[in-house]
């Protein structure tokens, strides 16, 4: 029989998933009642876990960022230790693996765009971006090369909002970005 902590963790996870889905469909001002019903809990149950809308939005964003971090860590397992560009390749792999599930990826991008400028959330996004910048600095690649590769990968994600890029184009972009991480020097002489 699951203990109270496990039940609380499951309820919290259901609330985060329900909030993400409801916000993606109905916007950032969707009622807390709708989110609670979607998660199968009372509004009081939602407020127990997330006393304010801001705390809920921050938690949703942190959940999305943590999912991406976990995907990068998983992709790192396929990269040889100590090889320059290892983290950048894992970053690219995580982005493009996520893009393979088009509808889910589109929902996540929409959600991140909707809540990214909300009070409290913006600071977490900035901190996450800075943490990635610092980690990628130590990856053994030219800093401009790293920026071009990671920003191009991020841009491929953003392109989901305004275009329907076919899988072949994404595969080619992925291969190109990975190839760019196999050379350590500057992009331009």
Other beta carbons less than 10 A from residue 51's beta carbon = 10
| 148-183 pLDDT tens trace | 999 999 999 888 777 777 778 889 999 999 999 999
Q: Are 75 and 126 in contact (CB under 8 A)?
A: no
Structure confidence at residue 6 (pLDDT): 65
Structure confidence at residue 171 (pLDDT): 92
Structure confidence at residue 5 (pLDDT): 63
**Confidence band of 2 (pLDDT split at 50, 70, 90):** low
pTM of the model: 0.89
Whole-number Å distance between alpha carbons of 31 and 13: 18
Q: Are 152 and 175 in contact (CB under 8 A)?
A: no
**Confidence band of 87 (pLDDT split at 50, 70, 90):** very high
Mean pLDDT score, 28-41: 96
% the chain with pLDDT above 70: 96
Other beta carbons less than 10 A from residue 36's beta carbon = 20
Q: Is the pLDDT of residue 92 over 70?
A: yes
**Confidence band of 117 (pLDDT split at 50, 70, 90):** confident
Whole-number Å distance between alpha carbons of 15 and 17: 5
**Confidence band of 124 (pLDDT split at 50, 70, 90):** very high
């Amino acid at each position: 029989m699951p203990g109270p902590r496990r039940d609380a963790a499951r309820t919290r996870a259901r609330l985060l998933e329900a909030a993400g889905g409801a916000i993606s469909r109905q916007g950032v001002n969707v009622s807390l009642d709708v989110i609670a019903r979607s998660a199968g809990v009372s509004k009081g149950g939602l407020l127990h876990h997330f006393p304010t809308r801001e705390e809920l939005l921050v938690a949703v964003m942190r959940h999305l960022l943590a999912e991406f971090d976990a995907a990068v860590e998983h992709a790192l397992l396929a990269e040889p230790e100590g090889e320059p560009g290892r983290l950048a390749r894992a970053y690219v792999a995580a982005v493009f693996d996520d893009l393979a599930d088009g509808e889910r990826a589109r929902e996540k991008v929409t959600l991140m765009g909707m809540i990214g400028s909300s009070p409290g959330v913006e600071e977490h996004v900035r901190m996450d971006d800075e943490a990635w910048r610092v980690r990628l600095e130590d990856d053994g690649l030219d800093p401009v090369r790293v920026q071009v590769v990671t920003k191009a990968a991020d841009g491929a994600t953003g392109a989901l909002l305004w275009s329907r890029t076919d899988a072949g184009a994404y595969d080619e972009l992925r291969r190109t970005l990975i190839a760019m991480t196999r050379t350590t020097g500057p992009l331009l002489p």
